[in-house]
Amino acid sequence: MSKLRVIHYINQFYAGIGGEEKADIKPEIREGFVGPGMALNKAFGEEAEIVATVICGDSYFNENIDEVKAEIIDMIKAYNPDVFVAGPAFNAGRYGVACGAMSKEVIDVLNVPAVTAMYIENPGADMYKKFVYTIATGNSAATMRKAVPALAKMTLKVARNEAIGTPAEEGYLARGIRKNVFEEKIGAERAVDMLVAKLKGNDFETEYPMPIFDNVEPGKAILDLSKAKIALVTSGGIVPKGNPDRIASSSAQNYGRYDISTVNDLCSETYETAHGGFDPVYCNADSDRVLPVDILREKERAGEIGELYKYFYTTTGNGTSVKNSLAFAREFTKELIADGVDAVILTST
């Protein structure tokens, strides 16, 4: 029996081309496997092989998404694949979106099955998990060894059109699709069993997990901006030159608080970005492009706002978990409230 033909999609980083400085590269296709494709190809054993690898820069894909999808589809056609696999993208947001979008396009246009893999908090997961089987991974490439076997197993299953089990059985993200199955006990009995387990403090697993929605109560409207104290907060990674608090370029574990009480302009000699998820050139030339201290100083002098708060707070949103983001905000908002800040301008990238 001949091996299944696999097309693999990766970004510029995993292709070994470069990081953010190369995120604008156009799509290309190479024979065989590249980068993490080596481990994936090995995990297929004798059942499948990566015949070609599509590579595209994360920025280029997301900034030219319709044109890029059509271009990559044309590249793939020539190889007559049995299955398409993208990633793993872990928690890299633009990469995850590209993996999900390209996988869905392959399914829709070529009628070829596709699989991808990423972290549950990746925006690409939320956008595409209902269309594409998406293997759940850890937050970073440190979990690559665990992700690859699961991705390979699912790729072979969808390629052979085999029955797919539940998310818990197969390790993919729930797609919101429910199927009727027969159980030994009726629903009432199972519900009582779960209730008894809960009352005893024992472990149990609900059959119908409820969605969790943020419920943020809107703040009161500011009636007079000319008397308001405004603070700046950013996930764009703006830091004093040298990054004194060593804020990570992605998956941040801390945030910084920096005094701008005597600062009117975030010039290139004294400020930069620590963010690893976008091209830093224009930001490093003038960090006011991400954190607009200069404009708010102008408005302060003109009396349009009452005061610019003496500190700004910063971290990198690139791959940073929701858990950490909430912890950071809960900590520094106490200080903002205690110092009488009326409003916060939150900037990203």
pLDDT, tens digit (0-9, with 9 covering 90-100), for 67-121:
999 999 999 999 999 999 999 999 888 899 999 999 999 999 999 999 999 999 8
Torsion from C-alpha of 333, 336, 338, 342, nearest 10 degrees: -120
Summarised one tens digit per residue, pLDDT across range 331-345 is 999 999 999 999 999
pLDDT tens, position by position, 163-176 = 998 898 899 998 87
Q: How many domains does the chain have?
A: 2
Please compute the mean of the pLDDT values over residues 221-225 and round it to a whole number.
Answer: 92
**What's the whole-number mean pLDDT along residues 299-309?**
96
- pLDDT band of residue 156 (cuts 50, 70, 90) is very high
Residue range 119-138, pLDDT digits in tens: 998 888 988 999 999 999 99
Question: Across the chain, what does the average pLDDT equal?
Answer: 92
317 vs 74, which has greater pLDDT? 74
Is residue 85 assigned to a domain?
yes
Residue 320 has pLDDT above 90, yes or no: no
Residue range 317-323: mean pLDDT, rounded? 78
Per the domain annotation, does 218 fall within a domain? no
Residue 244 placed within a domain: yes
Indicate the residue among 146, 170, 194 that finishes a domain: 170
Structure confidence at residue 168 (pLDDT) = 85
**Residues across the chain:** 349
Tokens of 313: 């707070």
What's the CATH code of the domain at 106?
A: 3.40.50.2300
What is the predicted pLDDT for the residue at 144?
A: 92
Choose the weakest-confidence range: 103-112, 172-181, 191-200, 288-297: 172-181
Residue 266 covered by a domain: yes
Q: Does residue 72 sit within a domain?
A: yes
Q: Is the pLDDT of residue 321 over 70?
A: yes
Q: What's the pLDDT score for residue 210? A: 75
* Same-domain check for residues 16 and 165: yes
| Same domain (yes/no): 256, 341 | yes
Whether the per-residue pLDDT at 279 is higher than 80: the answer is yes
Do 35 and 134 belong together in one domain?
yes
pLDDT at 1 over 70: no
Per-residue confidence (pLDDT) for residue 83, from 0 to 100: 97
Q: Do residues 56 and 122 both lie within one domain?
A: yes
Predicted confidence at residue 241, as pLDDT, reads 95
Predicted local confidence at residue 92, as pLDDT: 85
Strand partners for 286: 267
Question: Does a structural domain hold residue 339?
Answer: yes
Determine contact, residues 55/27, Cβ cutoff 8 Å: yes
Report whether pLDDT(18) > 70: yes
- Does one domain contain both 129 and 21? yes
Residue 299 neighbours by CB under 8 Å, 6+ apart = 305
**pLDDT number for residue 334:** 95
Q: pLDDT value at position 226?
A: 95
One domain for residues 238 and 110: no
Domain containing 154 equals: 4-170
Same domain, 55 and 135: yes
- Residues 44, 166 within the same domain: yes
What predicted TM-score, i.e. pTM, was given to this entire model?
0.70
Average pLDDT over residues 8-28: 92
Same domain assignment for residues 250 and 133:
no
Last residue of a domain, one of 149, 170, 191: 170
Residue 151 sits in the same domain as residue 246? no
Q: Are 231 and 164 within one domain?
A: no
Name the domain boundary from 132, 148, 170.
170
pLDDT at 234 exceeding the cut of 80: yes
The answer to whether position 10 is within a domain reads: yes
Q: Does 328 fall in a domain?
A: yes
Convert the chain into a string of H (helix), E (strand) and C (coil). CCCEEEEEEEECCCCCCCCHHHCCCCCEEEECCCCCHHHHHHHHCCCEEEEEEEEECHHHHHHCHHHHHHHHHHHHHCCCCCEEEECCCCCCHHHHHHHHHHHHHHHHHHCCCEEEEECCCCHHHHHHCCCCEEEECCCCHHHHHHHHHHHHHHHHHHHCCCCCCCHHHHCECCCCCCCCCCCCCCHHHHHHHHHHHHHHCCCCCCCCCCCCCCCCCCCCCCCCHHHCEEEEEECECEEECCCCCCCCCCCCCCCEEEECCCCCCCECCCEEECCCCCCCHHHHHEHHHCCCHHHHHHHHHCCCCCEEEEEEEECECCCCCHHHHHHHHHHHHHHHHHCCCCEEEEECC
